[in-house]
Amino acid sequence: MAASRESSGEDPLRNFVRVLEKRDGTVLRLQQYGSGGVGCVVWDAAIVLSKYLETPGFSGDGAHALSRRSVLELGSGTGAVGLMAATLGADVIVTDLEELQDLLKMNINMNKHLVTGSVQAKVLKWGEELEDFPSSPDYILMADCIYYEESLEPLLKTLKDLSGSETCIICCYEQRTMGKNPEIEKKYFELLQLDFDFEKIPLEKHDEEYRSEDIHILYIRKKKSKFPS
Ligand SMILES: C[S@@+](CC[C@H](N)C(=O)[O-])C[C@H]1O[C@@H](n2cnc3c(N)ncnc32)[C@H](O)[C@@H]1O
């Protein structure tokens, strides 16, 4: 997959900008940090999901499928996916841990001229009680959030708390074969299927250029409750 970097500081290894070209020729610019947590760089799953949102198959005919839709992104990191959604007309909340908020706000600011919906950054730590978040957003987006065993249950609790029967969760993840990754992925699916149904989007429906055999996109929906509330 093509990666484009642009030096943005005195030390090009510490700070660099990832450039993500849109189908309409405009360009999202994402500040990254060469040091810090895993959220400080744009991961390939974020690129694959961002570009998928632009595909004709997803966007639909006429107004874009995300236009005026409420979107919440979990584990946003640099905010690439949420920002792409906001440029496609969605009203987006990008979320991550406290330490990522400055980077998220910087990237919102750097790309605000492209936003046709709206976008704001908020702290959301998986598993914690949620305040001030709209329940049942139209979409929940997440890229490369399945990588750490201890965070699987908190992540799934947050998905359960936030999603409603109409919420479409779109999860993009990279299948990794090293170390504990296969085990973590297996556990994620075991836990996921307790409360959610899911389907995989075939590779041929991903963006023609930004796709990879080991990066998967899933649509996930909360299982219908058996009993009326
Ligand atoms: C591998 S990065 C992916 C970042 C971004 N989605 C991307 O694909 O470029 C995982 C992200 O999840 C966030 N994260 C990890 N544990 C979290 C938690 N318990 N609550 C909220 N966010 C968390 C990290 O801060 C990081 O930004």
Q: Which residue has the tokens 């959604």?
A: 85
Name the packing angle between helices 101-111 and 80-87 (round to 10°). Answer: 30
Structural contact between residues 173 and 215, judged by C-beta atoms closer than 8 angstroms: yes
- Phi (first) and psi of residue 79, to 5 degrees: 95, 10
CA of 23 to the centre of ligand 1 (A): 26
Summarised one tens digit per residue, pLDDT across range 51-96 is 999 999 999 888 899 999 999 999 999 999 999 999 999 999 999 9
Q: Please tell me the predicted confidence (pLDDT) of residue 142.
A: 98
Which residue owns the Cα nearest ligand 1 atom 11?
A: 75
Pocket, ligand 1, Cβ cutoff 6 A: 37-39, 42-43, 45-46, 75-78, 80, 96-97, 100, 124-126, 143-145, 147, 151, 154
Residue 181 tokens, joined: 């990754």
pLDDT tens for each residue of 158-193: 999 999 999 999 999 999 999 999 999 999 999 999
Q: Whose alpha carbon is nearest atom 26 of ligand 1?
A: 39
